[in-house]
Amino acid sequence: MMTAVIILNSAPSENAGRGNTGAALSSIRILVVEDYQPFRRFICSTLGKREELQVICESADGLDAVRKAEELQPDLVLLDVGLPTMNGIDAAREIRTLSPKSKILFVTQESSADVAQAAFSSGAQGYVVKACAGTELLPAVETIRQGGRFVGSGLSPDQFAMDEQSSDFRREEALPSFLATAPEHARNHKVQFYPDDDSLLAGFTRFIEAALEGGNPVIVVATASHQKDILQRLQADAVDCAAAIERGRYIPLDVATTLSTFMVNGLPDPERFLKVASELVEKAASAGATSGEHLRVAACGECAPTLWAQGKADAAIQLEHLWDNIARTCSVDILCGYVLSPLQGERDSQTYERICAEHSAVCSQWAADSQS
């Protein structure tokens, strides 16, 4: 199990007394600095899950970030390392001088211990590698808010010589309970648990038919054998699959090939994922649209289920979190299909609960069957 290192300061923080009780948290004003727009949207969307986290400004440039920090005096600055005109570490030093009360959290692709050490030396209170941002961004913000320091699980804690390595040092799980999401408007990210392959294929087929009949394009990410079976079922129901594929309204993708486009070191890379997913949704929407009409793209698949079946529970949860952000920010209806028996669900109940928490609706055919 991956862990993140959290260092709890024994001395009170500058913000002590402001929001240490969960009921009445003050607003935390945040400046987000990231030059890659899809990932910046991902950060802002993730922060938006918590009412007290207020993104007051976005920037794509290091020098501009320094100016904005001086002008706005934010409570927290989220910084990438690789930025135009001024790198994030130099920007952090400037910000600490011009806005001394601003806390700094690095969210970056860089996983080098030397870079991370330089980031902390510049005055940062936290460091999260982008590949882990889906599960660690909110815990990092919470830790910093409470006056602690956060070292993400993308780095080895043993590589850091931190003064606080004493009784105030401890490790915590990277996915605390407050990551569970509440339903939001226009978010349709459903998970369905099926007892076997046949019921999963039937469920996917119904989902695809409904989307195509409604005039919406469909993306299907599944294994080669499942793709073949789904096409046969659609054709048996008189769906003209060849025409839908030719017009780009039906986009079948192999699950292994799709995973290879954004998985890095066994985990989904948020930046790569957002690029792949946003381009795919845009392609489907463009192919499906006629006469300027606005369509909702439908997508069903088994990427995260495949990872869980391979024993990569953390990767599956992170991927579901990334898909959930797509559901929040794009006009897309998502169905995730898991073949899972009640016994398997009970055996790994923690993963099951975390996966459910990343969806707007949860259904289980085996649960329905047991009640019938």
Q: Are residues 98 and 193 in the same domain?
A: no
Instruction: Please tell me whether residues 234 and 338 are part of one structural domain.
Output: yes
* 367 vs 304, residue with greater confidence: 304
| 118-122, 235-239, 293-297, 332-336: segment of lowest average pLDDT | 293-297
Domain co-membership, 192 together with 327: yes
Is the domain of 198 the same as that of 166?
no
Nearest Cα to Cα of residue 340 among 178, 203, 233, 182: 203
For position 170, what pLDDT does the model report?
30
**Domain range enclosing 252:** 188-371
**pLDDT on residue 38:** 79
CATH number at residue 226: 3.40.50.300
Matching residue, tokens 């707007």: 360
In the chain, the number of structural domains is 2
Residues 336 and 205 in one domain: yes
Share of the chain above pLDDT 70, in %: 80
Percent of the chain with pLDDT over 90: 55
CA pair distance 25, 35, nearest whole angstrom: 30
**Residue by residue, what is the 3-state secondary structure of 203-247?**
HHHHHHHHHHHCCCCEEEEECHHHHHHHHHHHHHCCCCHHHHHHC
* Ramachandran category for residue 165: left, alpha or beta (phi over 0 → left; psi -120 to 50 → alpha): beta
Is there a single domain that holds both residue 174 and residue 294?
no
Answer yes or no: is pLDDT of 242 > 50.
yes
Instruction: Give residues with Cβ within 8 angstroms of 161, minimum separation 6.
Output: none
Distance, CA of 48 to CA of 226 (rounded, Å): 36
Q: What CATH number did the domain enclosing 79 receive?
A: 3.40.50.2300
Measured distance CA(372)–CA(364) in Å, rounded: 13
Residue carrying the six token digits 């299907």: 220
Q: Which of 210, 190, 184, 187 is nearest to 365 (CA)?
A: 190
Asked if 219 and 251 sit in the same domain, the reply is yes
* Residue 157 sits in the same domain as residue 283: no
Mean pLDDT of 77-101: 95
Average pLDDT of every residue of the chain: 82
The model's confidence at residue 325, banded by pLDDT at 50, 70 and 90, is confident
Average pLDDT (169-188) is 40
The per-residue pLDDT for 259 is 97
CA distance 82 to 89: 9
35-63 mean pLDDT: 91
The pLDDT-based confidence of 68 (bands split at 50, 70, 90) is very high
Residues 103 and 239 in one domain: no
Q: Does the reported pTM lie above 0.75?
A: no
Instruction: Return the pLDDT at 9.
Output: 45
